[in-house]
Structure 1
Amino acid sequence: MQRLTIRDKWRPPLALVIYSVLLTVMALPVLLLAWFRPTAIDIKPLAATELGALLVVLAFTLLIGFVLLRAIKVPLDALVARSREIAIHGREAIQPLESYGTREVATLAQGIFDFAGDLVERTDYVRTFAAHVSHELKSPLTAISGAAELLREAEADGDPMTPAQRRLFLDNIVSDARRLDRLLGRLRELAHAETPVASGSTTLSGVMAILADRFPELHFAWDADQTASIPLPVEAAVISLSNLAENALQHGASRVRITLLDDHGQRLLRVEDNGSGIPEQNAEAIFRPFYTTRAAEGGTGMGLRIVEALLAVHGARIELDHDYRSGAAFQITMPRAG
C-alpha cells in the first residue's frame, strides 16, 4: 500500500495566522479614523487619550494572541511532538500532555492516544502471532523432514526398513501433513474472521438446523422462540456456534443448550454443554491463539480465538462463565439490531 505523503509547500504557521487576524481587527478602527479625520476642517494630531487608547487596544490584542497561542498552538505542538515520539518509541511514549488547552484539543489528543494504543496492541499481537505460527509450523515440518530423511537413509544404506517401520514413518508424515493442513485452514478462518464483513441477522432456528446436521453426535436444545433473530449474519453465527459445539464434543459433551435473552438493549446468547468443562487453571488462556490441551489429538488451539475475533468484527463479545460447573458455558453479548 502506498504511503500517503502531504505535498510540501509553504503554509502559514498558526501563530502568524492568529496575530495577523487580531492585528487586522485592531487596525480597522485606526484605518477608519485615518479615513475620516482629513475631512475635518481643523486637522489635529492624535490626542494623548487617543494614543493611549490605541496602545491599550494593541496591548489587549497581544494579550489575546498570547492566550490563543497558549490554548491552541502550544498543546497542538506538544501533541505533534508526542505523536512522533510514539512512532519511534511505541507504547512507552503514550503519556499524557502537560496541558491540553481546550476541550477540542483534549478530544483530539484522546483520539490520537486511543488510535496509537490500538496500533501498538495490534503490532504486539502480530509479532506474538507470527512467533506462534512459526513455532506451530516448525514442529510438523521438522517431523516430516526427519521421517523422510530416515526413509532415504535406510534406502541408501542398503538396509531397508521393515514394512511395519516404513508404514509407521509414512503414517507420521501423513499425520503431520494433515495437522499442517488443519492449521493453515484455521489461519485462513482467522484472517477471514478479522476482516470486516457485511452485517445482517439470521434466525436461531436456521442456525440450529445447520448445527444439528453438522454435529449429529450432539443433541441441541434452545430456550427461545423458533423465529427469534440473532443480530449476526448467518455465516458468522454458524462459524461461532460450530466452534463452540466442536469444543463441547471434544470434551465429551452429548448435549448443548442455547438460550437467547434480551438485556438492556442487548441480546445475550448463552451456550452451555454437559462436557468435562474447562479447568480453572486453563480458563484465562483459552482465547489465546494456539493454546490447546489436545495437541496430541490434532488440536490447533485456534477455535475460540476465531470465535472471539469474528464476534468482535460485528460488535459482539464472548465470555466464559467461570461459575458454571456442569460443563462449559459461554455467553455472547451482541448489540441488538436496530
Structure 2
Amino acid sequence: MAKCSVIQGEAQRQQADKRLEYAKFRRAMTLVVTAVSMTPLLLLSAVLYFSYHAVYEGKVFDHLEAVVERHALAIDEFLFERRQNVRMQVDSYTYEQLRDESLLNDRLRKMQSNYSNDYVDLGLVDEKGLQPAYAGPFRLLQADYGAAPWFRQAIAEDRFISDVFSGIRGTPHFIVTARGRKTGGEAFILRATIDFAHFNERVRQIRMGTTGLAFLVNRQGEFQTNLRPDETVDHAALAELAARDFSKSLPAHLEKANPQNQTMIYVAYPLKMKDWILVFQQEKHEAFSHLYNAQLISVSVLLLGGLAIVGTALALIRRMVQRISAAEQDQEVLQKQVVETGKLAAIGELAAGIAHEINNPLAIMVEHAGWIDDLMKGENTSGMKNFQEMQNSLKEIEIQGRRCKEITHKLLSFARRTDSRVQETQLNDLMQEVAGVSAQKARYGNTIIRLDLDPDLPTVHISPTEMQQVLLNLVNNAIDAMNKPEGVIVMRSHRDGPWVVLEVEDNGQGIPQANMPRIFEPFFTTKPVGKGTGLGLSICYGIIDKSGGTISVDSTPGQGTAFTVRLPATLPGSTAETQQPESIPNKGDDI
C-alpha cells in the first residue's frame, strides 16, 4: 500500500510539474508575441497618424477647391452658351422680323428643344423699355421695363446677364439679353428668361456629405440661389468672401466659426465676369471626418490588436494541447481498427479452412453417389419398386453436392490471399461470380442484384483476385446502404472508347455531401463500431489506381449511389505495360 501511495504521489507530482510548465509556456509565449506584435503596431499607428494629419488638411482643401472650380466653370459655360444663343438670334433676324410673334414663338420652341427647356420665354424690348413682342407663358406683351435697373444695364451693353430678381411676374428669375440695332440706328434688346428652378437645382446638386452645400451670391452678398429653411449661412463669412480679391488667390478658402460655434469651411470661386461667386460650405468636423476616424481606428486597432494577440496566443496553446490529445485518441482508434482488421483476416482464414474441409467430404459424397448409380444400372432393377425414386435421390444428391462444391469453391477463391499477378481478365465473369456469392446476403437484405453486361466487352490486364475484392466491396457496401423493403443493385459493364467501364448502382440511402470528400480515406467509415473498418473503399481506390484506371462516385442522399470504375481495355497484341491509353479521363468526383 505504501508503495502504491508513493507511485500515485509521484504521478501527481509529474502532472503538477507538467501543468506548471504549460502555464510558464503560456505566459512566456503571450509576453513575447504581445511585445513583438504590439511594437510595430504602435510605430505604424504613430507614423500613420502624424503623416496623415500633415497631408490630409491640404488634400481636403485641394479636393474642395477642385470640385468648386469645376462646377463654377460649368455654370459659367452654361451662362455663356445661353447668352451666345440669344446673341445669335439678334444677329440672325432684324427688329421687324423679331416683332412677328409667330417667329418669336418658333425660336422659343427651338431654343427650348435644343437646351432642355432652360428658356422660359423670349421678349423683344425697344429703346424705351416697351415690349412690343413676347413669346412665353406670361401676359407680358407691351410690358414697360423702362424703369427697371436691369434694362438700363442691358441697353448699355452688347451682352448682359442680370442678377436674380422678382420683377413684374413676382417670382425669382434672371434674364439673358443681347443688344441689336434697328434700321434707323435705334437700339433694342432681345431678352430670354432662364428657368430659375432648373438653374437653382444645378447649383444645389453640388453637395458633399450631410452638411456640405453650395449657393451663388453676388458681390453685395445677395443670394442668387435659394436655400432650404433648415440651411443656415453665416452672413459675416459671406461678406468677407464677397470682398475678396480673387486675382490673388483663386479659388479662395476660409475657416470661420458660425454663431452656433461650429467651425465651417468655405471655398469660393468667381464666375460671370466675377459678378457672381459660387460658395461651398461644410462643417470642418465632417470634412475631416476621415482624419478623426483614422485617429479613432488607430487607438481601436491598438486595443483590439493587443486583445486579439493575447487571445490568439492562448487559443493556439489550447489548440495544440487538444490536437495532441486528439492524436492520441486517433492512435487508439487506429490500433483498435488494426485489431479488427486482423480479426477479419483470421475469420477469412478460418472460413477458408472450413470450406476446404467441407469440400473433401462433399467430393466423396458426390463420387459415391455416382458409383451407386453406376452399380444400380448394372443390376437387374426390374423387381425394385422404388428404383426410380432411388435414382432421382441419387441425382439430387449429386446436384446438391456439386452446388455445395461450387459455393465452397467461390468462398475459397475470395478467402484465399490476394494474387497480385496481372493477367488478361474478362470482367463480365468476375461480375457474375460476385453476384452469385453476394446473392444470399442480398436476399437477407431484401435486395435484388441485376446484371446488365455487354456481351462484347473486351478484356483488361488486371489481377483477377484484386478485382474480385473491388467488386465485392462495392456490392457489400451497396447492400449495407439499403434502407427500403425493395432494394435494387444494378451491375453494368460497357465499353467507352479505349476504356472498359463498370458500374455498381443502388437505390439506397445515398452518401451525405459532407462525407463525399472523405469516402476514400483509410479508416473512414459511417458504420457503427464493429461493423466496418473503413478500409474497403481505400483498398478499392488503391487497386484501381495501381491498374491505371479511375474510380468515381455519384450520390444523391435519399435516392442512391453509383460507383463507376474505368479500366484500360486490352488492345490486340498489347501487354500490361503497353496497353494503357495515352491519357486518363477526368475523374469527376474522384477523391
The TM tier, using the shorter chain, reads 0.3 to 0.5
Q: Using CA pairs below 8 Å that are at least 6 residues apart, which structure has the higher relative contact order? A: 1
TM-score under structure 2 length normalisation = 0.26
Bigger Rg, structure 1 or 2: 2
